Amino acid sequence: MAECGGVDSSTSGHTMDKSITLPPDEIFRNLENAKRFAIDIVAKVRSFEHNAKDADSDKLYEISVQEEVTARLHFIKFENAYIETCLDFIRDHLVNTETKVIKATVDKEDEMTCLIKGCNFVLRNIPHEAFVYAKHADSEFRFQTTHPDIFPYLLINIGSGVSIVKVESEDKFERIGGSSIGGGTFWGLGALLTKTKRFDELLQLASKGQHASVDMLVKDIYGGSYGSLGLTGDLIASSFGKSATADKEFSKEDMAKSLLHMISNDIGQLACLYAKLHNLSRVYFGGFFIRGHPVTMHTITYSINFFTKGEVQALFLRHEGYLGAIGAFLKGAEEDNPNQYSWGENYAGSSGLMSVSPDMNPMQRARSGTFDMLEMDRLERQLVNLPLLQDPSSYIPDTVDLTEDALAREYWLYCFEEALDGVVKRAVASQPDIPEANERAEKFRQKYRHKLQTLRHQPFAYGSLTVRSLLDTREHCLNEFNFPDPYSKITSKWSLLVMPHMPIIVLMSALDNLCLKTIHPGFLLQGPPHKCALFFVDNSGLLSRGTEVVLASNSGPALNDVTNGELQILTERIAAMDPVIQAGLREDRLTLVQSGSSSPCLDLSRLDKVLAMVVRERQTDLVIIEGMGRAIHTNYYAMLSCESLKMAVIKNSWLADRLGGKLFSVVFKYEVPAGKPSQDSAALTPS
């Protein structure tokens, strides 16, 4: 993976416009700079019999490409109808032009190993990768927060057959069970029963059928429920039981539905039994039987709920269709140890989850079968939990889930749309000497506006929609069109650097005020002085008192938030003028560390490993999180194992309203973990 380069590697000849749009020639364009790529040909059910004449659109090919320039992984899923376009592209762009024949070497990778590697990768690196499906709930998807500690889990891969795999660590997995009754059975029996050859059509039929006309229910046998055995009347006693002796014709729809229930219930029961037997609570479902199909997700979920009485949840993966390709790629890049890095989903370059409700846009539906993309940005270091989280497994960074809160969603989507003009202007202004910046900024505007529109209809596209994800998406889109830091020319960030005297004093006094404010109510200095305080800063803040201080700032640019690089320079300048700061730095009582984030928000479960180490070493006993993005939109409810102070000025009147205060109110939320004497834990005071 060394050859994939960093952000600062040369972009020679590479157009600054990196937008990916359909159709295919655009799709494959991004492969141009790839050093390494793997084509994962997924020929479903037909045992790898590839036939160029056979334009069966159900066969998908997947390409995983590691782009050199941006340390980014591209995964593209497309129908095999486009395989020639792809090969043309490879011939024209990727292969030595003297070579007239493309020699394809297929490394037969172990399919299951690739699948598991891919699964570990997405579970570890993509927040909100896993979700619970609830057909009749307000929000179809309930996303799970992903944490670094992903093992052990059970993967139920439903392809032609079913493989039940227990995954215990990165390198240790075992196929503990399986079944021959899988997607191939639904397809095969379905084809025989209905003469319908297409898998999707069979699912369509199933979604319209009534299984009870084919299945024998408990009530068909006993006239009602079978109480003494705890069987309800509507329970299926015998799949296809009514077709044993009835002389009537059964409808295709009813038979397809009965078949779907039969298979889903069976897999559900097997999954539950294996989960119980191996004491596993996390059970993920994947494979082409599941892949984005609401009917199968629903029946599997129903079955799991029935058999485990809610003890085990059926979990699905947003990028389930990519697992094999990702795993194959990772396996090929093993000597580079891809796990030494962390990865994040790039919202600009990824298609996102399609709506799966039956009344969705058929165009969108079709797309999921033709092109689908996933891009992942590499972060140079491993991201880990903040060691001070009280319960990492229940930590949820975001304060409001806009997927579930329709009112808040409406507001924030409107808000980000309204702000778009300003962002475009700022982006152009940040590159005053580059003439085509205008053009790119316009493309950014289109792209982000389109994202916002998509999110309005599919708020679940990238997991739970949050203010954080909206901010991140904007950053990703800006970056996509090469506006990595639109605030680079904005004084609000650099003012500290540009005007060294006045603002620093202002800043310092502001911090003094802050200290007074927090100290005054008698919060922080009641006990002995803190050993070490950890500050998460946004676009202000620096403090040094008797307590050691760790200042955590963003690794990359986001809005006008100060980055670690900037803060280093800034702190040196301040130190030159301020003896307290100077002494702090010299005596190692003031430490600057990057957070690992490039977002205006803060996910305490994805922090730079070094920061976690410093926090532990310094025996940090106070965490201060400040700013709207870090303390209000995220972490407002975060529970820490030491004292914490969350503070922000509410700079948004809608939010102030919601919180029951006024615009520009200052929020101080001081919390002492259970077991320590606690104070009034939240205060919203007018500034």
Q: Which residues bind its own copies (CB under 8 A)?
A: 45-48, 56, 110, 112-113, 159-161, 163, 175, 177-185, 187-189, 191-193, 197, 199, 214-216, 220-221, 226, 228-231, 236-245, 250, 255, 261-262, 265-266, 269-270, 273-274, 276-277
Complex with its own copies: residue 272 or 470, whichever CB lies closer = 272
Q: How far is the CB of 180 from its own copies (least distance, A)?
A: 4
Start-to-end C-alpha separation, the chain: 50
Question: In this structure, what token pair is assigned to residue 245?
Answer: 């002796």
Q: Determine which helix (DSSP H) or strand (DSSP E) holds 302, and give its type and residue range.
A: helix 294-308
Complex with its own copies: residue 179 or 350, whichever CB lies closer = 179
Distance CA 600, CA 620 (A): 23
Residue 231 DSSP symbol: B
Q: How far is the CB of 243 from its own copies (least distance, A)?
A: 4
Complex with its own copies: residue 192 or 569, whichever CB lies closer = 192
Complex with its own copies: residue 242 or 606, whichever CB lies closer = 242
The answer to whether 139 and 409 have CB atoms below 8 angstroms apart is no
Q: How far is the CB of 271 from its own copies (least distance, A)?
A: 11
Complex with its own copies: residue 56 or 88, whichever CB lies closer = 56
CB burial of residue 417 (10 Å; 0-12, 13-18, 19+): middle
- Strand-pairing partners, residue 554, are 563
Q: How far is the CB of 230 from its own copies (least distance, A)?
A: 7
For residue 594, which of 622, 621, 623, 614 has the smallest C-alpha distance? 614
Complex with its own copies: residue 230 or 675, whichever CB lies closer = 230
Q: How far is the CB of 289 from its own copies (least distance, A)?
A: 11
The residues near 197 (Cβ < 8 Å, ≥ 6 apart) are: 191
Q: How far is the CB of 236 from its own copies (least distance, A)?
A: 4
Complex with its own copies: residue 226 or 302, whichever CB lies closer = 226
Q: How far is the CB of 334 from its own copies (least distance, A)?
A: 16
Q: Determine which helix (DSSP H) or strand (DSSP E) holds 37, and give its type and residue range.
A: strand 34-42
Q: How far is the CB of 188 from its own copies (least distance, A)?
A: 3
Q: How far is the CB of 259 from its own copies (least distance, A)?
A: 9
Complex with its own copies: residue 134 or 191, whichever CB lies closer = 191
Complex with its own copies: residue 274 or 329, whichever CB lies closer = 274
For residue 448, which of 403, 481, 409, 495 has the smallest C-alpha distance? 481
Distance CA 171, CA 120 (A): 10
For the chain, how long is the longest CA-to-CA vector? 96
User: Angle at which helices 199-208 and 183-194 pack, to 10 degrees?
Assistant: 70
Strand 60-67: give its sheet, edge to edge.
34-42, 60-67, 72-79, 372-379, 342-345
